[in-house]
Structure 1
Amino acid sequence: MQLETVRIQLTEADTHIALFRDVANVGALYGRLIAKNPEFEYAFIDASTIVSPLHLLSAIFRAYICYATGKLQTNNIHSEIVLSLSPNNNINESYRRWGPTPGKTKDMIVVKVVPDNVSEPRPTADGIRAHLAQHIDGRSVPFSDEEIRKSTDRSKVTKYYKLKCPTLDNLKDPAQREREEERLVIMGMALREL
């Protein structure tokens, strides 16, 4: 199983990220998430709404800053990651759009943030990898630009981030359009509270 571990500079946390394709048990995972099962304290994200690793890492960084400064708007850092993906402060809408939807979500990104101040036993990459492999019925793929872009639903991204703009529409080069789309999405998230 593929699991990426990222140490975001300026934070004191290990962030573990996995991308799964063709997840067959989204409903069961969603049920455990809604039931607030402590074994499933992860951010579950519909991969079709993410345009790049930088897009997701920007949301993780923002959520961590809220966590570190005691300004979480949600119950924990994992739900704050889902909220941080949104260009507005509507928590329910954020869960509906960026969270997994039983019967609709095929590809899913799973994020586990382990701050340094977590009491023992501290979750390890191997333990997280084993837990996800045991409970997620899907194919693990690398968390990379290429793999994420295979899952991205451009119509959802355009709708959720209100990306209808002539500048983006006039770009013919796909790579240039993807870079501009990523920039606009991250700007939308950053400007959320202004």
Structure 2
Amino acid sequence: METYTLPFAPPNLSTLQIAYFEDVTNAAAIKHRLVEAANTPGAAGEVARAAVDFAFIDADLLVSRAHLITALFAALLTSLPSVSGATLAAPPVPKTRTHNLHSEVLCALSPNNNISEAIRRFGVGKGTRRLIVAKYGGGEIGPEQVWRMIEDVVSGRLERLDRLDEVEVPWARIDKVYKVGEMNNLKMSGAEREAAKRAAIVNAVAVKHAM
């Protein structure tokens, strides 16, 4: 698991922790747990939601480590008030279109603004085998506790995040989602073409909400 300190973020969101798993065996159970937590009322629901308060991302739709990090930063930056945190009376609450900042990451990854489609495409599904689990927070929960929480949810093999730059990308699926199939006609080597498509996708995520 990797831990990032975000000096540009307010204290309550200044830490970002990311774990990458391969050979996940309980994706269907994770999906069920998320749905059940969302639909459980009262104090029991609050406890259930806190236990799965992460961004769960199907890593098959990530073309690189930069793709993931760009989406995580974009979701945070576009959800914060456009004033200095030092001028706020209290730590700011992110303004999101979805339930919370973690699900907002899925929208940041999506090439369109359809929230339901973003969650269906980029969130954990029954067939997910490669999974990113990410959490924004402050210093109130240390990395050891976060890791214990993740271990309680995910059954899989933890890998280093750089593996995202090494695994084979399902380009047929990526081409369809991000509409980069036309780039297959570019007159360049296969490696150059894939690098160009990766750059185009990362750039699209970076500028999506900057227009």
Fold conserved between structures, TM > 0.5: yes
For the Cα contact (< 8 Å) 1:50–1:148, is it kept in 2? no
Q: Show the 5 A alignment for 1:50-89.
A: 50-69=62-81, 70-89=94-113
Runs of 4+ in structure 1 over 4 Å off: none
Q: TM-score, normalised by structure 1?
A: 0.85
2:125 is matched with 101
Residue 40 and residue 166 in structure 1: after superposition, are their counterparts in 2 closer, same or farther (change >3 A)? closer
Match of residue 9, structure 2, among 4, 8, 11: 11
1:180 match? 196
Residue 179 of structure 2: aligned partner? 162
Distance 2:107 2:158 in 1: 25
**How many Å separate the matches in 1 of 2:121 and 2:96?**
19
**Deviations 1:5-31, CA, capped at 9 Å, x for gaps:** 122452242111111011111111112
Structure 2 gap segments, 5+ residues each: 39-48, 82-93
Larger radius of gyration: 2
Once residues 192 and 48 of structure 1 are traced to their aligned partners in structure 2, the CA distance between those partners, rounded to angstroms, is 21
Match of 2:91 in 1: none
SS in 1 for 2:198: helix
String of CA shifts for 1:113-135, please: whole Å, max 9, x gaps.
Answer: 1146xxxxx22111111221233
Q: What is the deviation of 1:4?
A: 0.6
- TM-score between the two structures when normalised by the length of structure 2: 0.79
Instruction: Name the SS of the counterpart of 1:95 in structure 2.
Output: helix
Q: Which amino acid aligns with 2:19?
A: A
Q: Percent identity between the aligned chains? A: 29
Name the SS for the 2:79 alignment partner. helix
Equivalent position to 1:143, from 156, 161, 170:
161
Structure 1: 5+ residue stretches without partners: 117-121
* RMSD of equivalent CA atoms: 2.0
The whole-number CA distance in structure 2 between the counterparts of 1:127 and 1:171 is 47
Aligned residues: 184
Q: For the structure 1 residues 49 and 76, does the alpha-carbon distance in structure 2 shift closer, same or farther, using more than 3 Å as the test?
A: same
